[in-house]
Amino acid sequence: MMRRVVVFVFICSFLSGALMAQKKSTPTERNLLAGIPSGRTRVVDLTYAINDKLPAWPGDDRAFEAKTNAAVEKEGYFTRSFWMLEHYGTHMDAPIHFPPGTIPVDKIPVEHLFGPAVVIDVRDDGRKDADYRLTVERIARWEKAHGRIPAGAVVVLRTGWASRWPDAARYRSLDAAGVMHFPGFSVEAARLLIERKVSGLGIDTMSVDYGASKDFEVHRLAFGAGLYHLENLADLSVLPEAGAFLAVAPIKLEGGSGGPCRVFAILP
């Protein structure tokens, strides 16, 4: 019962924050949130449950550990302690993760954790080229169909790589030389999205930079502009290209370069 109460209060606090982050909310927006308890509004969890079997970044041999501190049979209640990497499973990269970024995860402005979801579907491109990088032209196509990307949006790249989870070999897609291959954002696309004043970039792969990247140019560019990244997002297939709203709930880890993150999509 206690767990249910905590989860309910947690979700309510984030949805309340979403309304507070907007100076004005329309009746449609208010009805969208009010419809969640009754099921009239759909909420999709874009987060993988954390355990010790998730694909980790190559070289991260120790990623997650949990042990029982108290058992019902002995102490009458159940608790665990756990250890994990900051960048494991569905997680947020804070700007401080790469220079010139300086903002840790606990200092990201709360209003940046809520925003319209801009979903760009590149599944066909990724099937043809595992090293595909989002182009400026592809963003232009999205804007032609849905209008200019709004300030404060979270731009999510739907590559289809979630279908490979949790098979580490297929998800990382390592070649014989140990180089990973999966789609990502291009520097040119990231630069345009920074001009659009978006709050964050998200993707259903291990990194917003494409897998073969050696210098993480998109990380450095976006972090320098104060954006955050959401990586290893779960199946994005049900999200519309426009019209959904994201609530992003990272762990508030003081000074953290990132951390596990719960991401909810609220669908119209």
Q: pLDDT tens across 54-66, in order? A: 999 999 989 999 9
What pTM was estimated for this model as a whole?
0.88
Say which residue, 38 or 138, is predicted with more confidence.
138
pLDDT band at 268 (very low <50, low <70, confident <90, very high): confident
Burial class (CB within 10 angstroms; exposed 0-12, middle 13-18, buried 19+) of 111: middle
Which candidate, 254, 249, 244, 252, places its Cα nearest to that of 7? 249
For residue 210, is pLDDT > 70? yes
Instruction: For residues 101-119, give the mean pLDDT.
Output: 98
Confidence of residue 29 (pLDDT cuts 50, 70, 90): low
Which architecture characterizes domain 23-267 according to CATH? 3-Layer(bba) Sandwich (3.50)
**Least confident segment among 31-35, 43-47, 77-81, 159-163:** 31-35
Tokens read off for 156: 């999510």
- Taking the CB of residue 106, how many other CB atoms lie within 10 A of it? 14
**What residue segments make up the domains of the chain, in order of their start?**
23-267
Q: What is the pLDDT of residue 136?
A: 98
Flag whether pLDDT at 26 surpasses 80: no
Q: pLDDT confidence of 43, banded at 50, 70, 90?
A: very high
- CA-only gyration radius of the chain, Å: 19
Average pLDDT over residues 143-160: 98
Q: What is the rounded average pLDDT of the residues 170-186?
A: 97
Answer positive or negative: Cα dihedral of 236, 225, 262, 19. Answer: negative
| For range 18-43, the mean pLDDT | 69
Per-residue pLDDT, averaged over 182-200, amounts to 98
How far apart (Å, rounded) are the C-alpha atoms in residues 131 and 81? 39
pLDDT at position 192, please? 98
**Confidence at 21, pLDDT banded by 50, 70, 90:** very low
Identity of residue 257: S
